[in-house]
Chain A
């Protein structure tokens, strides 16, 4: 048993580290609350913008779009597990489940920070998805084991489908390989959560059940970003668009 201390990061938004990014976030927050931001007196917004929804962040196309998309998904997962580890179910959970969920938290936060670093290293800050998307997990009861585990299963299975569907959109082999390195870990997660839940139902095949792996072809799911973003939409507060992704 590892003895390391788990420090769950603060949920507060890091603001104002860059003026441009702060303005971008302000725009997102306001758009998210249904208000329209008038920026006519702000020269940061005077440059021509072909984006049809200029008040919304668009993920972009090509490798940038896929990396931003993956960054959004990893933010979603990391935020979920952060809330899990701050919740009462986790603090009182059996040792095995506690360890698994802590590992999942660790991995998803690591993935999130990887995408943040990769995007900021390779792309201009203006086109990188903001780092603190806001999520709404009010539908999840973090004191309830089944609520937490069923949501974890949904998020992990969705992550697998998302990466599987996004592979073909990646142009650079190195990025494809990294997406591959991550998706198999998401699939390991999904199987572990399913395994815990399946054991209780005496369904020992749930780790790769017929509900998620086609029993005829032996294939896992693969979905385009638009399908995934729609499916995850209930959790995502900060609006963004994916106009350049299928």
Chain B
């Protein structure tokens, strides 16, 4: 408590704004700096949450206080002062720019390379767009179509109000509040995120990505996503934005929970390109994310696909708990690090159900001075009769100043379960480069081509419309890593 009081005092002294207490003015809807129970209450009140939600948050907060930041990852994390950030800040009304001419030319050049349509470029760069692109109307159209199918897709705060029984039943089921340090922090202070509910037998009529890209642009630092697919339901969800966000936010701790019932399938794709910091390692997002799905029913399937090119530090292990008989878990990952980026990412496949199967394909690319680590667990419990796992981890090193690491954990407690793991580390061969160069392909394009070939197995799992952008993103992220 002493630290909290101190913070309040400091805020009071430094800004003189504390006299307004928690009554914030409308222009900058912000809670005071720091983290304590009052901040948690403030967030909950702002979100007009029911009492049970506040209790849940407080429980998480108290749990968080007793926990320690994990240090087992191969990451060099500078100490984070949790009292030195804002935990609630409503989307700021940023001044709209009048035309693209006012936008940072470097940013525009990147959009150009990604092949982003002009209208979308304007939206991303916060340029006022015409009515045709009005996200509200577009959103309404989508919402009508979705509700016709019975699909619930709304911000999590709305779901807490409108579907409390669903949220109460499932939130924290897959990632309990005390699961880990960052999950506990998120549980206490999450401000944004999505809620998806697909009723029995429904195949979601569209990729939920499109909607997300338009409406959930200004997601907070602490998102919370919950996706529930009832029996025989199907949904494909794409998170993130393929265009670079010039976000200077320091800490990003999200939680994603997936629940798949009998014969349901959830496909979750991420293209993460948060600001990685500059070439000297200054700035950038610390991305500490807990993602986990549970296949509760028989033959349920959860598939994670991620393309991670951004963030200064990535700490992320999208996992599957395969409880159902013959349930399936998949993890396809490309993690690319350049300059001073650090990534420690991988997956956990917990096999409980008979005949459960999992596939892990991980492609790590390190360039510059970066460190890239795959860390994964395959756990066969005694009940996992005839379960099967196949893991392949390949690392590619570009340059001699970076590191590529593979740390797989394999635990098998059932003899009929079969586990196969293989990992390789190599660099771009001179033959491959020579082949490209002598055909007139420039050095950077050649590297991009070869790296994309290296990642092909993962890329083909992405929803089609994003493959092209993701491929270009890899090329851009590698810029300056050769020559």
Q: Do they bind each other? A: no
Instruction: Write the residues of chain B forming the contact surface with A, with a CB cutoff of 8 angstroms.
Output: none
Instruction: Write the residues of chain A forming the contact surface with B, with a CB cutoff of 8 angstroms.
Output: none
